[in-house]
Amino acid sequence: MADQRAAPEKGTGHATRQMALVFAMGVALTLGGLLIAPPGDRGAVIVIAAILLALAAGTWLFPWERFDPRLPLVLCLPVLGILAYCTLAFEGSSVGTAPFFMLLSVWVGLHFPTAAVLALGPLTVLAYVVPLAVDGRGTAVVVGAILFVPTAMAVGTLISRQVNRQHRARETIQRMERWRAALTATLAHDVRSPLTSVQFALETLDEDGDVLPPEQRHAIIASALRQTSRIRRLATSLLDAERIDSRGLQLDLRPIRLRAAVEDAVSYLTAPVGVAVDPDLMVRADPQRLEQILVNLTANAIRHGAPPIIVSTEPAAADGMVAVHVRDHGPGVPEEKRAALFSRFSSADTSPESVGLGLWITRELVRAHGGDVHHSPADPGTRFTFTIPAA
């Protein structure tokens, strides 16, 4: 998994405000150093304080969020430059600048990938160790500085890795929360409608069952049974989503007459669907899962497309797979949403009754059979094609 940080809208602004406060702290410490600085060095100290003040104001006011989230790394350059100058120019600052090098490494580790922390190592050597060596501060001081650099890098790396783990944990929690919200939304919408139909059927039979003609009574019972089957399919879909995640999805494969399976599936739908399937075509599939695939695709075509809705097939290919097409004649899927069609919680499906699980489950069920599913534009409309083994 890539070592990423929070979105620029949150992470970049937070990181740069922290660095602005570090610059402001540097201004205060530098001005405090005037009390102990030799008279000849006070002019340079004031110049450094002015530079730090300008950096603090510029860092705070600059619109970092409009640019690449890695852009704040450029702030390391003026920090290193000032620390290098202080280390070289003020002999007493060689020890005092070390905590700021460590602070810089911690800042990079908090907000950027580990690679950025490691890239800071050579720059720290140039800004800290080289000035000490050039100024002839002594072997012990230079060796101590050399040992300090890996320590600072190690601290920054540990922080970066820990922050990255926390980001991954937060993303996992967010996915779980979306899954919980999706279950709630699915149950609230998809269960309410069939339960209302079942309740109406039962109330009708309770009040007028004795006087209804047999044909009407059977029709009401058949409607209630269809709606209970719809609830069962919903429960199965939700369980399948959990099983797919835990890799526990089991298939009961058997030879099935495809046309009969298609006709049974579309009988649950509220709109007419044309069926152009060879009556003798046999496929090897799990009956319940094949029904889910067909219902999901045809219901999706009814919801987003326009009539006529047609289910058709092609003869088995050389690889033994049968292609099944579900086509509508609607406006089609916008190009910018096609890439996310089969992802879980797809944003491509913006209908109020959808939570973005149907096409994802369909793809996983088709792949469990050894096939695949894809979308292709039709003129007009949309065509979804899935492949399934011939019997």
Q: What is the mean pLDDT of the chain?
A: 83
Distance between CA 235 and CA 216 in Å, rounded? 29
pLDDT in tens, 348-367: 454 434 445 678 888 988 99
CA distances from 211 to 2, 119, 126, 200, 246 (A): 69, 85, 97, 17, 51
Mean pLDDT, residues 108-120:
92
CA distances from 136 to 37, 91, 99, 142 (A): 21, 10, 21, 9
Mean pLDDT, residues 323-329:
94
pLDDT surpasses 70 at 327: yes
3-state SS assignment for residue 377: strand
- The per-residue pLDDT for 94 is 55
Q: Which is higher by pLDDT, 187 or 265? A: 265
Cα dihedral 219/224/228/234 (nearest 10): 90
- The per-residue pLDDT for 9 is 40
pLDDT in tens, 10-49: 468 888 999 999 999 888 888 887 777 677 778 888 888 9
- The per-residue pLDDT for 16 is 92
Cα Dmax for the chain: 112
Q: Give me the residue spans of the domains in the chain.
A: 8-174, 186-246, 254-389
- The per-residue pLDDT for 8 is 38
Q: DSSP letters along 265-334, please?
A: HHTTSSS-EEEE--TT-EEEE-HHHHHHHHHHHHHHHHHHS-SPEEEEE----TTSEEEEEEE--SS---
Q: Which is higher by pLDDT, 186 or 101? A: 101
- The per-residue pLDDT for 354 is 44
CA distances from 278 to 253, 259, 261, 275, 281 (A): 21, 7, 12, 9, 5
Q: pLDDT band for 294, please (50, 70, 90 cuts).
A: very high
Best CA proximity match to 28, nearest among 45, 16, 14:
45
Query: For residues 129 and 152, is the Cβ–Cβ distance under 8 A?
Result: no
Q: Is 272 exposed, middle or buried (0-12, 13-18, 19+ CB in 10 A)?
A: exposed
- The per-residue pLDDT for 4 is 43
- The per-residue pLDDT for 247 is 60
3-state SS assignment for residue 357: coil
Best CA proximity match to 233, nearest among 172, 291, 283, 166:
291
Q: pLDDT band for 243, please (50, 70, 90 cuts).
A: low
pLDDT in tens, 259-292: 999 999 998 787 889 999 999 999 999 998 899 8
Q: pLDDT band for 183, please (50, 70, 90 cuts).
A: low
Mean pLDDT, residues 68-92:
86
Q: pLDDT band for 155, please (50, 70, 90 cuts).
A: very high
Mean pLDDT, residues 190-209:
81
Best CA proximity match to 48, nearest among 107, 90, 94:
90
Residue identified by tokens 């699980």 is 357
pLDDT surpasses 60 at 240: yes
Domain 254-389 coded CATH 3.90.1490.10: no
For residue 61, give every residue at least 6 positions away whose Cβ sits within 8 Å of its Cβ, in sequence order, or none.
Answer: none
pLDDT surpasses 90 at 304: no
Q: Which is higher by pLDDT, 384 or 128? A: 384
Contacts by residues 83-86 (CB-CB < 8 Å, ≥ 24 positions apart): 83/127, 83/128, 84/126, 84/127, 84/128, 84/130, 84/131, 85/48, 86/48
Distance between CA 366 and CA 315 in Å, rounded? 18
Q: Which residues pair with 389 in a beta bridge?
A: 321
Percentage with pLDDT > 90 across the chain: 35
- The per-residue pLDDT for 257 is 96
Distance between CA 23 and CA 248 in Å, rounded? 55
H-only helix segments in the chain: 8-33, 42-61, 76-89, 93-96, 98-111, 114-124, 130-134, 139-186, 192-208, 214-246, 258-266, 287-304, 358-368
End-to-end CA distance of the chain: 40
For residue 291, give every residue at least 6 positions away whose Cβ sits within 8 Å of its Cβ, in sequence order, or none.
Answer: 233, 261, 264, 265
Q: Which residues pair with 255 in a beta bridge?
A: 284
